[in-house]
């Protein structure tokens, strides 16, 4: 009798090993000053299949990595892949806005944080997860399939106004009205439960001109639904400031974003620490108003041609990194900004 579960485990590990992390060498370069010291601790806030963490653990033999992921399958896969590193790798099944809680549980200073935002290769490649518009599956899209409502349930239950807001805000879809009208007409008599159903509906709803440019016409709608189902932008917006507070003095944070909505959140959070917060009429800037972050990248870095050819999923990446150069009081900073 064949042990199918064992075969599936091997196949899963093979798939993980074959996965190429986006901008791995650049991330390692940026984290090197804090990762190579005795007792250094790095948080990989988006563990996924463990590619970035594996690179960190291999390159820096003195580092411990705390890996966070909301996807139980990712935690299981990465834990098997990284078993050879022993207690230098410790997994945490939670969302990355829980970075402060993870750091507190571990009980030591955090010297570096890596956050590779967006949907993971694992979720895209697992057809049955329903993230991809290229292959038919149940319309799920939950990063943690044990919590929350699926994309199919969202489509079935959301009001027309809410659906329109989701597509316009999270997908920047110019034809949101047409697509929502088609969804409403369809769901009155047939539940929209598969990715192919939704793709076909979108194709029928869009004008011919929209079909000729911008890649797959369903791309924006699928992105919007995925973001809404997983509360991605809300979680990211609360994560970055909290993560920066968690860093020890001299610590570094590296963030990879994959669309303008994510990058805008990261840029705004970093900018708050990269610029002084003093009132404009002060002749001398007191220490408490001085920037507490130093930029390690010039704006948002993109993958070069070689990286894009080697790893097509790096085509849309935007990488930003900062170093924490002094401690500050975010409460007083907020109170000043509200005056």
Q: Which residues are annotated as a binding site for S-adenosyl-L-methionine?
A: 50-52, 69, 96, 116, 123
CA 94/CA 68 separation, integer angstroms: 6
Pairwise CA distance, residues 327 & 319, whole Å: 24
In angstroms, rounded to a whole number, what is the distance separating the alpha carbons of residues 151 and 228? 8
Q: How far apart are CA 140 and CA 149, in angstroms?
A: 8
Binding residues: 50-52, 69, 96, 116, 123
Element (H, E) at 311: none
Which phi and psi (to 5°) does residue 323 adopt?
-115, 140
Token pair for residue 133? 């518009």
In Å, what is the CA distance from 131 to each residue of 21, 85, 199, 251, 264?
Answer: 19, 31, 12, 34, 23
**Smallest Cα–Cα separation from 288: which of 330, 243, 241, 322?**
330
Alpha-carbon distance of 153 to 178, in angstroms, equals 20
The token pair that represents 194 in the structure block: 């598969």
In the numeric block, the tokens 């070069």 are attached to 304
Per-residue CA distances from 265 to 10, 117, 214, 269, 313 (Å): 38, 11, 24, 6, 21
3-state secondary structure of 193: coil
Query: How far is the C-alpha of 54 from the C-alpha of 78, rounded, in Å?
Result: 9
Rg (CA), the chain: 22
For the chain, what's the residue count? Answer: 339
């Amino acid at each position: 009798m064949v042990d199918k579960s064992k075969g599936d485990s091997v196949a899963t590990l093979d798939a993980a090993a074959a996965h190429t992390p986006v901008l791995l060498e650049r991330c390692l370069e940026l984290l090197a000053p804090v990762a190579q010291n005795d007792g250094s601790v790095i948080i990989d806030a988006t563990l996924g299949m463990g590619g970035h963490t594996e690179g960190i653990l291999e390159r820096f033999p003195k580092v411990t990595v705390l890996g966070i992921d909301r996807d139980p399958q990712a935690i299981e896969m990465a834990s098997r892949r990284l078993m050879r590193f022993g207690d230098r790798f410790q997994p945490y099944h939670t969302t990355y806005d829980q970075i402060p809680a993870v750091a507190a549980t571990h009980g030591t200073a955090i010297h570096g944080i890596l956050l590779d935002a967006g949907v993971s290769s694992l979720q895209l490649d697992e057809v049955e997860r329903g993230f991809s518009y290229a292959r038919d599956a149940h319309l799920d899209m939950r990063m943690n399939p044990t919590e929350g409502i699926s994309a199919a349930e969202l489509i079935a239950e959301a009001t027309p106004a809410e659906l329109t807001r989701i597509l316009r805000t999270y997908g920047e879809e110019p034809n949101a009205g047409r697509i929502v009208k088609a969804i409403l007409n369809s769901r009155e008599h047939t539940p929209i439960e598969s990715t192919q159903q939704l793709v076909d509906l979108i194709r029928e709803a869009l004008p011919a001109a929209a079909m000729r440019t911008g890649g797959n016409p369903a791309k924006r709608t699928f992105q919007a639904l995925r973001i809404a189902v997983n509360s991605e932008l809300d979680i990211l917006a609360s994560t970055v400031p909290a993560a920066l507070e968690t860093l020890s003095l001299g610590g570094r944070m590296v963030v990879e974003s994959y669309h303008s909505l994510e990058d805008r959140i990261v840029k705004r959070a970093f900018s708050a620490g990269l610029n002084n917060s003093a009132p404009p009429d002060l002749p001398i800037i007191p220490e408490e108003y001085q920037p507490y972050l130093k930029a390690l990248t010039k704006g948002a870095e993109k993958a070069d041609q070689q990286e894009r050819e080697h790893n097509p999923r790096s085509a849309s990446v935007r990488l930003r990194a900062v170093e924490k150069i002094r401690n500050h009081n975010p409460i007083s900073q907020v109170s000043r900004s509200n005056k």
